[in-house]
Amino acid sequence: MVISKSAIKRWIEAAQSILSAIITVMIIEPKVPKRIAVAAYPGSKEAAELASDIASHLAKRGLNTIHASLYDEVLRSQVSDGDFDLLVALGGDGTMLRAGHLCAPPKVPILGINMGGLGFLIEVAQEDWMSVIERVLTGDFWLQERMMLRAEHRSRGRVVAAWDVLNECTIGRGEMVRPVRLLAEIDGHYLTTYVADALIVATPTGSTAYALAAGGPILPPELRNILLVPVAPHLSVDRAIVLHEGSWVRVIVRTTHQATVCVDGQVPMPLRDRDQVDVRASEHTVHFVRIYEPDYFYRNLTSRMKQNPTAGVDG
**Pair 251, 171: CB distance under 8 Å:** yes
Same domain assignment for residues 205 and 224:
yes
* pLDDT computed for residue 30 by the predictor: 73
Domain contains 259: yes
Question: What is d(CA 266, CA 156) in angstroms, rounded to the nearest whole number?
Answer: 24
CATH no. for residue 67?
Answer: 3.40.50.10330
* pLDDT computed for residue 2 by the predictor: 55
Q: What is the b/e burial string over 161-179, where b = at least 16 CB atoms within 10 angstroms of the residue's CB?
A: eebbbbbbbbbbbeeeeeb
- Confidence class of residue 3 from pLDDT cuts 50, 70 and 90? low
Domain contains 313: no
Same domain assignment for residues 121 and 246:
no
Same domain assignment for residues 13 and 114:
yes
Same domain assignment for residues 163 and 279:
yes
For residue range 9-18, what is the model confidence (pLDDT) as tens digits?
555 555 555 5
The answer, yes or no, to whether residue 198 has pLDDT greater than 60, is yes
Same domain assignment for residues 35 and 73:
yes
1, 86, 6, 73: which is closest to 38 by C-alpha? Answer: 86
Question: What is d(CA 95, CA 204) in angstroms, rounded to the nearest whole number?
Answer: 18
Same domain assignment for residues 130 and 52:
yes
The answer, yes or no, to whether residue 142 has pLDDT greater than 90, is yes
Range in 5-9, 213-217, 288-292 with the lowest mean pLDDT: 5-9
For residue range 258-271, what is the model confidence (pLDDT) as tens digits?
999 999 999 999 99
The answer, yes or no, to whether residue 25 has pLDDT greater than 50, is no
Give the residue with greater pLDDT, 43 vs 2. 43
Range in 62-66, 86-90, 281-285, 299-303 with the lowest mean pLDDT: 299-303
Same domain assignment for residues 73 and 154:
no
* pLDDT computed for residue 24 by the predictor: 44
285, 191, 276: which is closest to 237 by C-alpha? Answer: 191
Across the chain, mean pLDDT equals: 88
Question: What is d(CA 118, CA 199) in angstroms, rounded to the nearest whole number?
Answer: 24
Question: What is d(CA 130, CA 220) in angstroms, rounded to the nearest whole number?
Answer: 29
The answer, yes or no, to whether residue 305 has pLDDT greater than 70, is no
The answer, yes or no, to whether residue 223 has pLDDT greater than 60, is yes
CATH no. for residue 267?
Answer: 2.60.200.30
Domain contains 311: no
Q: What is the DSSP string of the chain?
A: -PPPHHHHHHHHHHHHHHHHHHHTTTPBPP---SEEEEEE-TT-HHHHHHHHHHHHHHHHTT-EEEEEETT-HHHHHHHHTT--SEEEEEE-HHHHHHHHHHHTTTT--EEEEE-SSS-TT--EEGGGHHHHHHHHHTT--EEEEEEEEEEEEEETTEEEEEEEESSEEEEEE-SSS--EEEEEEETTEEEEEEEESEEEEE-TGGGGTHHHHTTPPP--TT--EEEEEEES-SSS--S-EEEETT-EEEEEEE-SS-EEEEETT---EEE-TT-EEEEEEEEEEEEEEE-S-TTHHHHHHHHHHT--TTTT---
The answer, yes or no, to whether residue 81 has pLDDT greater than 80, is yes
Give the residue with greater pLDDT, 313 vs 143. 143
Same domain assignment for residues 131 and 193:
no
Mean pLDDT of 180-187: 97
- Confidence class of residue 293 from pLDDT cuts 50, 70 and 90? confident
The answer, yes or no, to whether residue 280 has pLDDT greater than 60, is yes
Range in 46-50, 70-74, 274-278, 304-308 with the lowest mean pLDDT: 304-308
Domain contains 1: no
Give the residue with greater pLDDT, 20 vs 265. 265
Question: What is d(CA 225, CA 160) in angstroms, rounded to the nearest whole number?
Answer: 26
Q: What is the model's pTM? A: 0.85
Same domain assignment for residues 83 and 207:
no
**Pair 142, 28: CB distance under 8 Å:** yes
The answer, yes or no, to whether residue 137 has pLDDT greater than 60, is yes
For this structure, is 93 an active site residue?
A: yes
Question: What is d(CA 126, CA 5) in angstroms, rounded to the nearest whole number?
Answer: 30
* pLDDT computed for residue 159 by the predictor: 96
Question: What is d(CA 118, CA 47) in angstroms, rounded to the nearest whole number?
Answer: 16
Same domain assignment for residues 132 and 109:
yes
Same domain assignment for residues 44 and 69:
yes
The answer, yes or no, to whether residue 22 has pLDDT greater than 50, is no
- Confidence class of residue 21 from pLDDT cuts 50, 70 and 90? very low
Domain contains 314: no
Q: What range defines the domain where residue 89 resides?
A: 6-141+291-305
The total domain count for the chain is 2
The answer, yes or no, to whether residue 292 has pLDDT greater than 80, is yes
Of the residues 72, 85, 93, 275, only one is catalytic, namely 93
Domain contains 248: yes
